[in-house]
Amino acid sequence: MILINLLPHREAARKRRREAFQAAMLASFLVGLLISGAIYWWFQGMVTDQQAKNSFLSREIKTLETQIKEIATIEEEIAALQARQKAVEDLQSDRNLPVHLLSELVKQLPDGVYITSLKQADQTVTMQGMAQSNERVSEMLRNLSNNTPWLSKPELVEIVASNLALSARDQRRVAAFNLRFQLMRSSEAKKAMDDAVSATTPAAGK
């Protein structure tokens, strides 16, 4: 017996393929949605962890900044105490500076040079006097520059030719000078003397 299918089989096949396609699309959509949700929650967890780390770092940075400020304050206090201590030590050691000044002037002034005025303001000493010649003044400047650790930076302010009346008939031609120099502190003079000794010791050994 021959069976003849009179139903529209092509339409039924197309319907089945359409339904299968729709089911596949729905399944793909659901799988994609699940994957997207998983990725979103994974990134959200990473962002949350990073925010927690950032908050921790911010708290630690603030703590460190507070500690740094405290350390800076302590360092400033230490520096101020050291400055006061040095000032006290300088005052104690500088009590003998006038003695060193007069002693060095006696040693460094060449013959024929006379002091008429001597003034000190802080570490600057101003000296006025007379010399038998300009060469005596030059020699005095060299001595003050090179021969003593207690006096430094001599600067000739003025030198003029003048007449000195020793008597009614005895007139001498002299050079009146005005100069200034620096009086070194005891600590600075001691350091200069130590450096000079260190510089000459190897030469003496050779």
Render pLDDT for 56-100 as a digit per residue (tens, 0 to 9): 999 999 999 999 998 989 989 999 998 888 878 777 767 778 888
Which CATH number does the domain housing residue 143 bear?
3.30.1360.100
Output the pLDDT for position 121.
86
How far does the chain reach from its first CA to its final CA, in angstroms?
137
Tell me, yes or no, whether 204 lies in a domain: no
More confident residue, 11 or 75: 75
pLDDT, tens digit, for every residue of 113-136?
989 999 988 889 999 999 988 999
- When divided into structural domains, the chain yields a total of 1
Q: Locate all alpha helices (DSSP H) within 94-147, ordered by sequence.
A: 97-108, 134-146
Tell me, yes or no, whether 117 lies in a domain: yes
Q: Locate all alpha helices (DSSP H) within 94-124, ordered by sequence.
A: 97-108
Q: pTM value? A: 0.50
Pairing of strands 171-183, 124-131: antiparallel
Output the pLDDT for position 6.
54
Output the pLDDT for position 204.
47
Tell me, yes or no, whether 155 lies in a domain: yes
Tell me, yes or no, whether 174 lies in a domain: yes
> Averaged over 188-202, what is the pLDDT?
74
Output the pLDDT for position 148.
87
Report the amino acid identity of residue 17. Answer: R
pLDDT, tens digit, for every residue of 13-67?
788 888 888 888 899 889 989 999 999 999 998 999 999 999 999 999 999 999 9
Tell me, yes or no, whether 162 lies in a domain: yes
Contacts for 42 with CB less than 8 Å, ≥ 6 apart: none
Tell me, yes or no, whether 40 lies in a domain: no
Positive or negative: CA dihedral 98, 103, 105, 106? positive
- What is the SS3 assignment for 126? strand
Residue 13's H or E segment, with its range, is: helix 9-93
pLDDT, tens digit, for every residue of 140-150?
999 998 888 88
Tell me, yes or no, whether 146 lies in a domain: yes
Residue ranges making up the domain that contains 174: 96-189
Residue with token string 């008429």? 116
Tell me, yes or no, whether 26 lies in a domain: no
Output the pLDDT for position 164.
75
- Backbone phi, then psi, for 193, in 5-degree steps? -65, -40
Output the pLDDT for position 7.
57
